[in-house]
Chains A and B, each alone.
Chain A
Amino acid sequence: MLTMGVPLMLILVVSMFLLHISIGAKSLTYQTVIDAFSNFDVKNFDHIIILKVRLPRAIIAIVVGASLAVAGAIMQGVTRNPLASPSILGLMSGASFAIVVALGVFGVHSPFLTPWIAAFGALAAALLVLVIATLAPGGTNPLNLTLSGVAVSAFLGAIISLLNLMDEDNFDQLRVWLTGSLAGKNLNIFYIISPWLVITMIVAIILSRKITILGMGEEVAKGLGVKTTGLKIQLLAVVIILTACSVAMAGPMGFIGLVVPHMVRLFIGADYRWVIPYSALLGAVYLLAVDIIARVIIAPQEVSTGIITALLGGPLFIYLIKTRGR
Chain B
Amino acid sequence: MKNSIIEFAFVIGFAAASLLGNAHAADTRIFTDDLGRAVEIPTHASRIASLHDGMLTLPLIELGVIPAGSAGRISGDLPPFIRGSKGLTGYDFDNSDIQFLGKYPVDIEKVAALKPDLIISTTTYEDILNKLSAIAPTIIIDNVNNSREQMFETLADITHTQKTLDVLKTRYAQQIKDINTVIDTKSISVNVMQASGGKLYVWHSYFSLGKVLRDAGFTFPKLVEDIAVGERRELSAEKLQDLNADYIFVTYRTDRARTPQDAMAEFEKVIPDFCNYLKACRENRMLMMPREAASSTSFTALGLSAFTVLTHISGNPYAAKITK
Interface residues of A (CB under 8 A from B): 24-26, 42-43, 45, 48-49, 52-53, 166-169, 173, 176-177, 181, 183-186, 295, 299-302
Contact = CB atoms under 8 A, between A and B. Distances in A.
Contact of A181 (B198, B255, B271, B273): B198
Interface stretch (B121-129, B167-175, B238-246): B238-246
Nearest to B255: A169
B238 A301 contact: no
A183 B196 CA distance: 10
A176 B236 contact: no
A52 B273 CA distance: 10
A183 B256 contact: no
A42 B239 CA distance: 18
A25 B238 contact: yes
Interface of B: 73-76, 103, 196-199, 223, 233-242, 253, 255-256, 269-273, 276-277
A51 to B, nearest CB: 10
A309 to B, nearest CB: 17
Contacts of A48: 271, 273, 277
A169 B257 CA distance: 12
B235 A166 contact: no
Contacts of B76: 167
B271 A176 contact: no
Nearest to A295: B236
B198 A24 contact: no
B271 A24 contact: no
A26 B238 contact: yes
Given A167-B76, A185-B198, A301 B235 contact: yes
B239 A26 contact: yes
B199 A302 contact: yes
A302 B201 CA distance: 11
A169 B253 CA distance: 10
Contact of B199 (A24, A26, A49, A184): A184
Contacts of B73: 168-169
Contacts of A25: 235-236, 238-239
Given A45-B241, A45-B277, A186-B272, A167 B234 contact: no
B271 A52 contact: yes
A184 B271 CA distance: 7
16 contacts: A25-B235, A43-B276, A49-B237, A168-B73, A168-B75, A169-B253, A176-B196, A181-B198, A183-B199, A183-B237, A299-B236, A300-B223, A300-B239, A301-B236, A302-B234, A302-B235
Given A52-B271, A52-B272, A167 B74 contact: yes
A184 B269 contact: yes
* Residue of B233, B234, B269 ringed by the most chain A CB atoms within 10 A: B234
Contacts of B271: 48, 52-53
Nearest 8 Cβ contacts at the A-B interface: A184-B198, A183-B198, A25-B236, A26-B238, A25-B238, A176-B197, A184-B269, A45-B277
